[in-house]
Structure 1
Amino acid sequence: MVTMVGNESDFGKLVKDLIYLEHDAIAAYESTIERLDDKALSAKVADFHQDHLQHLSTLNQIAMELGIEAPTDGDMKKMLTTGKVALADLFGDSAILKAMKTNEDDTVTAYERASRHEGGRVESKEFFLKAHQDEVRHRTWFEATAKQL
């Protein structure tokens, strides 16, 4: 799936869309942790899950500072992100990790775009850059680990 998150002209809309994206990612991570047969892989994915929880917390804080209502759940993409993982479960851990890599493609793109957004404060841009680095690290791990299995 190709995300449009990060293309918003309004900074508040960007923050809301990133919150939706994080809720979707968190749901996919929870599904992945439950489905992986290899518990060492599950533990590593759980570490990445914590990064997403932290991203969501920071985004909620930014939303509060902007005076906008933060979404409390994912959007329709949640079914796609978790559905890919459920389908991949039929083919084993490598397929699950490959599905998660494609989910991470969207978060990498979204945070890369967000880091270049004209709106927001310096702190927001710093957060977006850090989140982008986290997402690149996650995607790289999913891709490399899936190839090794």
Structure 2
Amino acid sequence: MTTLVGIQSNLTNAVKELIELEYEAVESYETAVSKLTHNNECKMHLISFLEDHKRHISELSALLKQHNEEPPKEASKSKQWIKSGKVTVANIIGDEFIIAAMKGNEFDTNVAYERIYTREDGWKDVYEVIRRGLEDEKRHKKWLEERPQIFHVHISVG
């Protein structure tokens, strides 16, 4: 699912929706970290990415407050279950599928940051915050894409 974050008619609404997307990412990472069972290296990276997303919320919220806007305090309830739900469902199948679900989530955050970064209606102070966030998102996505896809299918012939 490709996000619509960043295409809003004004920058304020785009940043607010980006914060909501970040809250969704935090929830997805918390779910993924709790569900990963076999790979401590992956878990440590996901915890690091989780902390990046929390920092993004803090920085973006501070930016909105500087512009006399109230930032969202949580993810949109209507979309919240979709992101963490993908990770929970992936848990039924295994760690590799949890990582695959996180790749999709990172795709959305990359798209959102890129859209906002290329807007021409931005406040001067928004671009540095968005640029740093975009760099983090690209790093997350790259690391997740480099994870080997090892899917084991066991077939019993009897």
Structure 1 and Structure 2 fold alike (TM over 0.5): yes
Q: Give the structure 2 partner of residue 26 of structure 1.
A: 26
Q: Give the structure 2 partner of residue 108 of structure 1.
A: 110
Q: Give the structure 2 partner of residue 135 of structure 1.
A: 137
Structure 1 unpaired stretches of 5+: none
Note the 1:27-46 alignment, pairs <5 A: 27-37=27-37, 38-46=39-47
Q: Give the structure 1 partner of residue 156 of structure 2.
A: none
Deviations 1:13-56 (A, max 9, x none): 01110110000000001001100012221111000111111110
**8 Å Cα contact 1:104/1:138 also seen in 2:** yes
Report the aligned-residue RMSD: 1.3
Q: Give the structure 2 partner of residue 14 of structure 1.
A: 14
**8 Å Cα contact 1:95/1:146 also seen in 2:** no
TM-score between the two structures when normalised by the length of structure 1 = 0.94
Aligned structure 1 segments of 4 or more residues deviating by more than 2 angstroms: 119-123, 146-149
Moved more, 125-134 or 55-64: 125-134
CA distance in 1, matches of 2:123, 2:150: 41
**Aligned-residue offset at 1:143:** 1.8
**8 Å Cα contact 2:60/2:129 also seen in 1:** no
**Aligned-residue offset at 1:148:** 6.0
Higher-Rg member (1/2): 2
Deviations 1:64-122 (A, max 9, x none): 01211111110122111000000000111110000000011100000000101122323
Moved more, 84-93 or 138-147: 138-147
Is 2:112 the counterpart of 1:124? no
**8 Å Cα contact 2:29/2:47 also seen in 1:** yes
**Aligned-residue offset at 1:146:** 4.3
**Structure having the larger proportion of residues in helix:** 1
What percent of counterpart residues are identical?
34
Q: Structure 1 residues 90 and 21, CA, compared in 2 at 3 Å: closer, same or farther?
A: same
Moved more, 122-131 or 84-93: 122-131
